[in-house]
Structure 1
Amino acid sequence: METIDLVATATQILELLSDQGISGKSLHAYTHTGIGCVIRHFQAKGILCAAPEMLDAFLLEQREFFDQGAFSVWKWRLLRRGCELLKHCAEKGSVDLPPLSPWMPALRRPRQSIWKDTPTPEQLADLDNIYALVWRTNSAMLELGLTDATVGHYRNEGLAIILNRHYESGTDRFSGEILDQIVAEKRIQYEYGQIGRGSYQNLRKAAYWIQEMHQTGHITLAKVPNWGQRELVEPFNSLLREFCTHTKQSESMAETTRNVARSAIRRFLFEMEDHGFRSLADFTLINVNGCVTSFAAHYAGGLGSAIFSVRLFLRFLFERNLTITDLSQSLPELMATRKMFHEGFTEDELEYLLEHPDRTTAIGKRDYAMMVLAAQSGLRACDIVRLELGSIDWRAREIRLVQHKTGEPLSLPLEAESGNAIADYILNGRPDSALPNIFLCHTGVIRPLDARSASGVVSKHMKLAGIPAKRRAFHALRRTFGTRLLQNEVSFELIQQLLGHRDMDSMKLYLSIDEQGLKQCALPLLSHRKAGG
């Protein structure tokens, strides 16, 4: 469509509107205002046929008059719809015009919809155009296999909010500052309980993916890092990285232990920075001791583990001749530990929990199989999500694996209920995939579950089943298993083997939460007697 015959097209529009039964009042408004003003404007210039771009320019000119108060919003809406009707009817011969998008005064054009409007070639060519970035991010999520429902959450609670904030700020250019501002505001709302964790996470992930799309031209479904996370100064950052590499290569720490240690050492080094230290040359025994005092205030529990991690780090520096003095000597050797004993599930709670998954669905089959396996085997979440199809000897009814936390091999009997649940999931619910892992993610790209997702499975069904949280999640199934063994008078040595504990001291936790067993150990009260009686 090069040009539009204005009079002929206007006549066709009015006839079609009349055939549809539009009221005489509305027809009069289109004839004399909506379309009539457009025709009179171009006829005054001797133009009988106008290109669509000319109608757009006319509309922008009229918008300026409207913003100056030259006429009412009623006339503006009629003029805008009249121009769109002329273009639509000339192209399609119809007056079935969809609802018009809201007008954005700051950008002098209609608002585009992520759901239905493809960016213009000019927008796609501009790598900083926020609408094109948001549209590309939305398309990339669908291409990576996320479901429409999942993409809808990210779009409604993330992409749309980010896009609107840019427009409200009067810009259609990507702004890292606006992105940081939105995430910071949503974080505060989440911390004050004004929005849920899911809404905050959807916004944070959407912001990260837009930023990633802007920087690389694509997005990944890897774990999203903490937004605005503080970074250590050099050389502290390099030293911590070197320490982590050393513990990994020497296999002196399991991955989970190394992550906990890294977090504690980072916090300690931040304390050193906050006290004004920027290099190893500034470290002294007194300085380290003072920083540890401040550092300890961040730990309501687990301080002993944190101090142990810092001690290892300081010894590492001394052994590498990076410090003249062994600064670990300034740390206390013994600490009063604070133990947090988390409950398992009662028999009734466990029954409610296992009854809740809908086993007619694939995800329900998976969730049930994971939970019943944890309850009957005591396996950790990190080991269950790493179970492979070859980990189960179906003939011998055994599970064989190498524990992720300890690196030790473990063989466990496979209970009939657990085996049937796993088999039902593999045969009737598990996605068709060449991945060796038994339990897979069913949303987006098919991939193995991680331990955090497994914990989320238990938390979800606890909430839906109305079971109080009480600081319980996936690991509570392991505690339930260990406590039940203890209550059935299974020997400590066998419980230690079944749970895969290296140290017998780990059994103290189950002694502490075996309420009935503790009651049997209680000493009777002495009767009150008079002196000399």
Structure 2
Amino acid sequence: MDTSVQEIGTAVVDALRAAGYMESTIGQYQKSIKQLGLLAAHQDGIYTCELGTRFVSMTTSPRTGKFSQQRSNDYRRLIHLCDAYLLTGCVDLAVRQRPSTMPSPKTPEFCQLLSLWGQDMKQRELAQVTLYSFGSMATQYLAYLEAQGIFTWDKADGASVLGFLESLRGQWAETTMWSVVANFRPFLKFMQRTDLLDALALARARRHHQIHEILSPASERIVVEFCRDNPAVSARDAAIVLLCLVSGLRACDIISLKLEEVDWRGSTLGIVQQKTGNPLTLPLPSLVLKKLADYVLHERPETTAAQVFIRWKAPHQAFGGHSSIYRVISTVFRTAGVDDMKVGSRMLRYNAASNLLRASTPLPTISAVLGHASADSTNVYLSTDVEQLLACVLPLPVSQKQ
């Protein structure tokens, strides 16, 4: 049975309203639906996938005669909903992930290696972010081998490893090449290629530890008081900022935090860390707990999502990535008047570590609070304690005149 653009358009608008989309957003969809209806007029208003493909290609603005990114985005979103409705009879408003632009190997042998590598990582129950980092580096290396005319694993050599790293230097800053090597090494170990590991060592990528900027006590007080009383900041955003300030939680752990992981009576939260897979229990100060409760009881949109922090705009789902947390933190700091530095969850993690160091907290305790898999990982935060570092500086010897 044929489906008309009018029928699909009505279903889309009804679904958008039911999901709580803003009227301005619905209006944009209605404009696109109207244009789609005009295009479908030559075939009695019936929608087909071929018509949708043609509609998506109409990216030139009639007003300027040039490519319109807004027009392209609006039309692609509408056609995604139309095609889904044509196949299922339902309007699918789920947030779509952007397609990966990472090159992938095509050779059956390389595809099999990736499959085995993925199975091994899952059996070791590595965190999701680690699975992605290790897997993507192996995928890119195997795709690089194919681009160099190498289609069997036995033909991979040390020169290919160094060439692969060199090809990535345009994508990665020199100071972060150590991360590339660290994420690449486990795959070579899994393949038991000591010759390739030796070549990787020749890259001599070293981690650069800079002295990180932290908040002054005055700035920290301003932000805390702003989150406590100012109506200009929502309870959700205040809770996120305060959580980062007092606990140093990673952005990925804040995004994945679930309602069931908050112990309201015990004033604690207990999570399994995304990065390490280790359990972590942290106390919740009264102000943080109050803002969390205010958000959950009065602000949080109605949704089936299990995560605590939800997007304001429909579809009401969990945040999509770290940039969402950064946007919340930077907006709160800027609105509070603390805008003299770049602030995100990573910077606040260093700030939390610095506060613990200034309070003479032992490193093993700081390691436990920050949720490190190894106590050695905490050493990087020593750079934040500038006063203690200055106390370690030795005077220069005074030269004796001959």
TM bucket normalised to smaller: 0.7 to 0.9
| Equivalence for 2:217 | 347
Does the alignment pair 1:372 with 2:242? Answer: yes
Match 2:147 to one of 263, 274, 298: 274
Instruction: Indicate if the aligned counterparts of 1:378 and 1:478 stay in contact, CA closer than 8 A.
Output: yes
Separation in 2 of the partners of 1:152 and 1:179?
21
Letter matched to residue 460 of structure 1 = T
Query: Equivalents in 1 of 2:287, 2:308: separation in Å?
Result: 17
Q: Structure 1: any 5+ residue segments left out of the alignment?
A: 1-121, 183-188, 190-198, 320-324
Equivalent position of 1:382 in the other structure: 252
Alignment: residue pair count: 377
| 2:77 counterpart residue number | 209
Q: Is the partner of 1:375 in helix, strand or coil?
A: helix
Alignment of 1:322-333 (within 5 A): 327-332=196-201
| Conserved? CA contact 2:56–2:75, under 8 Å | no
Distance 1:214 1:413, change over 3 A: closer
CA RMSD for the aligned pairs? 4.1
Match of 1:290 in 2: 163
- Normalised by the size of structure 1, how large is the TM-score? 0.59
Indicate how the Cα distance of structure 1 residues 276 and 469 shifts in structure 2: closer, same or farther if over 3 A, else same: farther
Alignment check: 8 A CA contact 1:342 1:472 kept: no
Match for residue 31 of structure 1? Answer: none
1:336 maps to which of 162, 181, 206? 206
C-alpha spacing 1:282/1:181, structure 2 compared with 1 (3 Å): farther
**Structure 2 residue 124 is the aligned partner of structure 1 residue 246:** no
Match of 1:458, SS state, is helix
Matched residue, 1:456: 327
- 2:262 corresponds, among 382, 388, 392, to 392
Check if 1:486 corresponds to 2:357: yes
Q: What is the distance in 1 between the residues matched to 2:101 and 2:274?
A: 31
Q: How does 1:492-531 map to 2 (within 5 A)?
A: 492-531=363-402
Tell me, yes or no, if the aligned pair for 1:459 and 1:474 is still in contact at 8 Å. no
Equivalent in the alignment of 1:476: 347
2:292 to 388, 397, 422: 422
Question: Would the alpha carbon gap of residues 435 and 136 (structure 1) be closer, same or farther in structure 2, given more than 3 Å must change?
Answer: closer
Compute the displacement of 1:428 (Å): 2.8
Picking from 243, 250, 264, the partner of 2:137 is 264
1:299 to 2:167 alignment:
no
Quote how far apart the aligned CAs of 1:481 are: 1.0
Shift of 1:138: 5.8
Which position in structure 1 is the counterpart of 2:184? 310
**Distance in 2 (alpha carbons) for counterparts of 1:203 and 1:481:** 44
- List per-residue Cα deviations over 1:219-278 (Å, max 9, x = no partner): 442343147665543434554354234312321x21112222233333333432332334
Q: Distance in 2 between matches of 1:149 and 1:480?
A: 40
Identity, % of aligned positions: 26
Shift of 1:329: 4.3
Moved more, 294-303 or 402-411: 294-303
Matched residues in 2 for 1:180 and 1:303: separation? 42
Tell me which residue corresponds to 2:88. none
- 1:148 paired to 2:23: yes
* Distance in 1, Cα, partners of 2:368 & 2:141: 36
**How far is the alpha carbon of 1:367 from its aligned partner?**
0.8
Between the aligned partners of 1:521 and 1:134, the Cα distance in structure 2 is 70
Q: Does the aligned pair in 2 maintain the 1:204–1:227 contact within 8 Å? A: no
Contact 1:267 1:295 in 2 (8 A): no
Check 1:508–1:231 CA distance in 2 against 1; reply closer, same or farther (3 A cut).
same
| Structure-1 separation of matches of 2:230 and 2:343 | 27
The equivalent residue for 1:12 is none
- Aligned partner letter, 2:200: L
